[in-house]
Chain A
Amino acid sequence: MPDIAAGRTAIPPQADSVRPPSPPLVLPRTAPDERPARRTLLGQIERLESELSQLFCSTWPRHGFEWSVPSRGGPRMLSLADLEGLRDDLAERLSQTRRSFSDRTYVEDQNRRRIEEMLLEPEQHKWVRVANEDIGEPGCKHWHVRPRWGVLGMLMNWWRVRISSGCPLAT
């Protein structure tokens, strides 16, 4: 009879005999082969490094990007976890740098457009100055909207774009 008074159902002693026997505990005799996983990770690291190198070359001559991915205390044979961590860090670094590069090129495009507008309507962009660095180019050239003939130009609203080229001589 079930033990209703105790608030629970008593299991009849013969229930064990109908329960399926639990499988014996078997430990694997050999460690799982990490080789395929390691090979895949090494391949991924190679591909990511290649993409990072391409991106590095594309960003030149711009500065201010972060390229470093923390070392793993090498040169040594990395564990599977280290390889995974390295792969993830490289992917993260690549993604971050691509985003920053994309943001930077967007701003540079805006600056290029601004130069065109400055050249077309200098009086609408008084005193605006755009340098080569602002459009992702090497060198010290810059476009500067200034009044023609100084104060007279300012009073008469005569504006022009002065293009300066060449870097100052080293002292």
Chain B
Amino acid sequence: MSEPELTQGWIDVELAEEFPELSLDYVWVEARSGRSPVAVRDRLRELSDRFTGLKVIHMRQDPVPWAYRVFFRQVGVDPDSDRTPVERIAIERLEWGGLRSANLLDDALVISTVETGVPVIAFDAEKVGGHLGLRLARKAELLGGGGRPLSARQIVVADEDRSLSVLFGEIAEERGVTRKTSRMVLAALGVKGVPAISVEEALWTAADVLSAHQYARRR
């Protein structure tokens, strides 16, 4: 299977000056979500064996999870209260005794995050503009153009017209993936200390899981 083409997102000047190594890469995938096939659920089961209590404790010293912890701090989020995506998955795995399957999209995002440590988010491709990027919220801006008000200088993922989601947070209701979605945009955030290859790997992994199981899911 050929690897999907990655696109580099734009970064607002002010953000780029503050965090020179910040990046947002994304990829377009023809895929639908739905119930995960057995192969994906098996993969989740295998991945859950990687997390032992000791490994989760030491995870915050691993380079990639640590890089996201530092970024969380630098943008005013306490990673011990609002956990980084990979730490959140690890804690859930310890609490539930395994990685629980939700649906194909969520499972693909969990698999790619566990494999690489890089968080990936998904949008409905039909409901976002052409080019994605990161910027600061504008004065009195609403999430997604018609959602809740964003606070000033909040970091958001956006297209050319409007914000799509708060970084590491809420996705605008009308921009997220639904049952009707047949084409998605997967986006991964790179921060200082995270190799570009890890970001690419995260996107390829998620795209691969989604694409490879389209036929299996429909059977």
Is B78 within 8 A of A71, CB to CB? Answer: yes
What residues on A are CB-neighbors of B78 within 8 Å? Answer: 68-71
**Taking beta carbons and an 8 Å cutoff, which residues of B are in contact with A?**
14-15, 17-18, 54, 57-58, 60-61, 66, 69-70, 72-78, 80-82, 136-137, 151-155, 166-169
What residues on A are CB-neighbors of B168 within 8 Å? Answer: 75
Known contacts A49-B69, A49-B70; is-contact A74 B80 (Cβ 8 Å):
no
User: Is A76 part of the binding interface, using a Cβ–Cβ cutoff of 8 Å?
Assistant: yes
For A34-66 the 0/1 string (1 means CB < 8 A from B) is 010010001001100110011011001000000
Interface size on A, residues (CB 8 A): 27
A67–chain B nearest beta-carbon distance, Å: 5
Which 3 A-B pairs give the minimum distances between C-beta atoms?
A: A74-B76, A72-B76, A71-B78
Is A57 within 8 A of B61, CB to CB? Answer: yes
Q: List 15 A-B contacts (CB under 8 A).
A: A46-B70, A49-B69, A50-B66, A57-B61, A68-B78, A69-B78, A71-B81, A71-B82, A73-B76, A74-B77, A75-B75, A75-B76, A76-B136, A77-B14, A77-B75
What residues on B are CB-neighbors of A86 within 8 Å? Answer: 73, 76
What residues on B are CB-neighbors of A46 within 8 Å? Answer: 70, 73-74
Q: How far is the CA of A68 from the CA of B153 in the complex (A)?
A: 24
B4–chain A nearest beta-carbon distance, Å: 27
B140–chain A nearest beta-carbon distance, Å: 15
Is B74 within 8 A of A42, CB to CB? Answer: yes
Is A53 within 8 A of B151, CB to CB? Answer: no
Q: How far is the CA of A38 from the CA of B19 in the complex (A)?
A: 11
Q: How far is the CA of A41 from the CA of B34 in the complex (A)?
A: 45
A54–chain B nearest beta-carbon distance, Å: 7
What residues on A are CB-neighbors of B72 within 8 Å? Answer: 74-75
Is A68 within 8 A of B73, CB to CB? Answer: no
Residue of A nearest to B136 (CB): A77
Instruction: Specify which of A56, A68, A78 is in contact with B60 (CB 8 Å cutoff).
Output: A56
Apart from A77-B75, A86-B76, list 12 A-B contacts with CB within 8 A: A42-B18, A46-B74, A57-B61, A60-B57, A67-B80, A72-B77, A74-B72, A74-B76, A76-B151, A76-B155, A77-B15, A78-B75
What residues on A are CB-neighbors of B66 within 8 Å? Answer: 49-50, 53
Q: How far is the CA of A108 from the CA of B113 in the complex (A)?
A: 39
